[in-house]
Structure 1
Amino acid sequence: MKKILILLLIATFSFSSCEKDDICDANTSTTPRLVIEFYNITNASVLKNVTNLKVIGEGMTEGIVFNESATGEAKYLTNGTTISIPLKTDANSTTYNFILNSGNSNPTLIDIDKITFNYTRNDIFVSRACGFKTLFTFDPNNKYVHTAVPESKLLKWMQYISVEKNNIDNENETHIKVFF
């Protein structure tokens, strides 16, 4: 009887140290990116494709990768109506240069607008495997600052910016609409 009890105790202690695998499921919601849709300024209900849009974060030398399968400069360009870009999880603002017609051989056709997004952050524990995710809320008094580059330039290619959702907690909805 003592041998069986000792055997059960040894088995219990050896199995109690086992843990399930700490793998974060790919379907688990993580820190959401900012979703921006582009619209036609003359017909506000019509989506409009951007042409060779490149988005570069302040202090960065390379743009956001929109085409992972492309090579060279093409991987940083998009021609769609919607983009998703990350916000900084360690600061309360993120600045990007939005370069329309990037790489055009005629420099007068390249337009650059600079936007600083201002927000507060809330870190939420997801799981031991996935860690934390950050949710963002736009600053109600100063959601963004929009300037042309260079700042002496009078016209911005983004003519109107509308914040559609103040809380950035998922990527399934449009947070910002840009009209141009």
Structure 2
Amino acid sequence: MKKIILLVLLVVFAFSGCEKDDICDANTATTPRLVLSFYDINNSTVLKNVTRLKVVGEGMTEGVIFNASASGESKYLTSGNTISIPLKTDEDTTTYSFTFNSGNTNPDLIFVDNVTINYTRNTIYVSRACGYKTIFTLNPTNAIVHTAEPVSSETWMQYISVEKTNIENENETHLKIFF
């Protein structure tokens, strides 16, 4: 009997050191991604799906994964009207190339635009289990630098509108892209 009581007390003491914040809840807000929504240039209130969009960060060899369950090149492609992409937490700029119609057999129908996002960072402590998160504030004077590739060609993105300068969550559109 004494052994059972001793065992129960030992188990109770072993788990008494655990605190609620030893496990990061999946619903805890972490570093947000930049949310971009695509709109029809001819009707600015209508969302428009991109076709086979591939997004590759500067210095990356592979693109942002939009479809983790797909294999090969398909996991880097999306044809939706809203995407979320990460910003660098160790620099104040992030550059991406956006390839519209990626993988098309006709190279004249593939368009590549480069977008550089300029921002400041603020690191915030979340909890012991979750660590820190970074929130971003887009630069008020030159938040977006947009060019085509090659530089002599036209851009497929006609206009980029900054909707939210503070990137604190992924529940809202930060940039609207019209094409």
Q: TM-score, normalised by structure 1?
A: 0.89
Question: Aligned equivalents of 2:108 and 2:99: distance in 1?
Answer: 12
1:5 corresponds in structure 2 to none
Question: Aligned equivalents of 2:157 and 2:118: distance in 1?
Answer: 18
Say yes or no: does 1:63 pair with 2:63: yes
Code of the residue aligned with 1:45 in structure 2: it is T
Say yes or no: does 1:166 pair with 2:165: yes
1:103 corresponds in structure 2 to 103
Question: Aligned equivalents of 1:86 and 1:169: distance in 2?
Answer: 12
1:128 corresponds in structure 2 to 128
Q: TM-score, normalised by structure 2?
A: 0.90
Code of the residue aligned with 1:177 in structure 2: it is K
> Residues 83-115 of structure 1: CA distance to partner in whole angstroms, max 9, x if unpaired?
000000000000000000000011110000000
Unaligned 5+ segments in structure 2 are 1-9
Shift of 1:18: 1.9
> Residues 18-55 of structure 1: CA distance to partner in whole angstroms, max 9, x if unpaired?
23262111000000000000000011111100000000
Unaligned 5+ segments in structure 1 are 1-10
> Residues 123-151 of structure 1: CA distance to partner in whole angstroms, max 9, x if unpaired?
00000000000000001111011000011
State how many pairs are aligned.
167
Question: Aligned equivalents of 1:112 and 1:86: distance in 2?
Answer: 19
Shift of 1:16: 10
Question: Aligned equivalents of 2:174 and 2:16: distance in 1?
Answer: 45
Q: CA RMSD in A?
A: 1.5
Question: Aligned equivalents of 1:67 and 1:164: distance in 2?
Answer: 26
User: Match of 2:46, SS?
Assistant: coil
Question: Aligned equivalents of 1:78 and 1:34: distance in 2?
Answer: 16
Code of the residue aligned with 2:167 in structure 1: it is I
Code of the residue aligned with 1:126 in structure 2: it is V
2:176 corresponds in structure 1 to 177
User: Do the aligned partners of residues 119 and 20 (structure 1) sit closer, same or farther apart at CA in structure 2, a change above 3 Å counting?
Assistant: same
User: Match of 2:74, SS?
Assistant: helix
- % identity of equivalent residues: 67
